[in-house]
């Protein structure tokens, strides 16, 4: 399990740095929107900073797949969630985004959660490796429909549009994470060489690609129009809840045999979500506003 923790930490750091680089990139671009996907992806692929962040994100996915094959879902997601610490600190120091008392409370809660999850690692529980492709595809299809409905409803009812982008991107990234977990089950069962060919023969890589592209378009737009310290944590909350709740059911992952360790693990994971939520309920205003000038360039205003 030690290697699983190591790869979870590497994934967490890589995800955080990826998000920060992408935020730096989209803040320098003209306004982007999921409704103009071709324009958006043209802008993204021509930015070296964004491409560097994207590559780091791909590396993070690889680390996550390896971690899932070695460690239970709840532990991986709790450690990955702790990467919010990096996002919050760097967003303050580098991006000069405002960080209020709620964010600092959330940071403290997440650090406590990581300690509790670490204490629970003495358990002998193992990652689940059994789930049918049909159930994975059905669950993913239902979630895509739910993501679309959530975006429409939240855009109508919620004043802070960062919430709609965060929730929708979280659901779509949760679908991608479920496919990564599915691929990791094949990796754990067959080993690297054979697992690659078997994975390509399943729907997992293709559903992963589709949900990742959709999630990316929503997430990048949210990053440009709001604070990363709000959009990224909310995306993380939804994705974490989804992959843990659905993944543990579909893959029949057991909790630790010890009632005490089970309580510590569940409490630790719950605290990650609670701490992340503190970030998402911060001020509705963005640290930087994006304005479009007549020549199509972006002007950043404090």
pLDDT in single tens digits along all 302 residues of the chain: 678 888 988 998 898 889 889 999 999 999 998 888 889 999 999 999 999 999 999 999 889 888 877 877 767 877 877 777 777 777 777 777 776 777 778 778 877 877 777 666 555 455 556 678 888 899 999 999 999 998 988 888 876 677 889 889 999 999 998 888 888 777 777 777 777 788 888 888 999 999 999 999 999 999 988 778 778 877 877 887 788 778 777 877 666 777 888 888 788 778 877 877 776 665 544 444 444 433 344 433 33
Question: What's the pLDDT at 207?
Answer: 93
Residue 294's pLDDT is 38
End-to-end CA distance of the chain: 46
| CA gap 199, 222 in Å, rounded | 32
pLDDT in the model for residue 177 = 86
Using an 8 Å Cβ cutoff, are 116 and 272 in contact? no
Task: Note if the pTM is more than 0.75.
Answer: no
Coil, helix or strand for 302? coil
Token pair for residue 182?
A: 């599915």
d(CA 58, CA 64): 10
Q: What is the pLDDT of residue 280?
A: 60
pLDDT (0 to 100) of residue 281: 64
């Amino acid at each position: 399990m030690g290697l699983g923790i190591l790869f979870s930490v590497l994934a967490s750091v890589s995800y955080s740095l990826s998000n920060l680089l992408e935020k730096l990139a989209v803040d320098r671009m003209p306004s982007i929107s999921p409704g103009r996907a071709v324009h958006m992806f043209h802008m993204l692929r021509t930015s070296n900073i964004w491409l560097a962040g994207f590559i780091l994100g791909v590396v993070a996915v690889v680390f996550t797949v390896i971690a899932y094959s070695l460690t239970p879902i709840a532990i991986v997601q709790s450690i990955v969630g702790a990467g919010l610490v990096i996002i919050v600190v760097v967003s303050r120091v580098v991006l000069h985004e405002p960080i209020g008392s709620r964010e600092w409370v959330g940071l403290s809660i997440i650090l406590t959660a990581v300690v509790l999850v670490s204490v629970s690692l003495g358990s002998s529980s193992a990652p689940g490796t059994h789930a049918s492709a049909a159930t994975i595809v059905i669950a993913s299809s239902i979630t895509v429909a739910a993501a679309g409905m959530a975006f429409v409803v939240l855009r109508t009812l919620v004043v802070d549009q960062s919430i709609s982008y965060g929730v929708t991107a979280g659901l779509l990234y949760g679908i991608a994470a479920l496919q990564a977990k599915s691929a990791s089950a094949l990796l754990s069962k067959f080993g690297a060489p054979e697992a690659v060919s078997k994975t390509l023969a399943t729907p997992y890589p293709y559903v992963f690609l589709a949900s990742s592209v959709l999630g990316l378009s929503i997430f990048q737009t949210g990053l440009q129009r709001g604070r990363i310290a709000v959009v990224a944590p909310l995306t993380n909350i939804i994705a974490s809840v989804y992959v843990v709740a659905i993944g543990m059911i579909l893959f029949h992952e057991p909790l630790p045999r010890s009632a005490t360790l089970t309580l510590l693990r569940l409490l630790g994971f719950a605290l990650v979500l609670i701490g992340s939520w503190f970030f998402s309920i911060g001020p509705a205003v963005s640290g930087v506003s994006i304005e479009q000038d007549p020549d199509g360039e972006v002007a950043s205003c404090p």
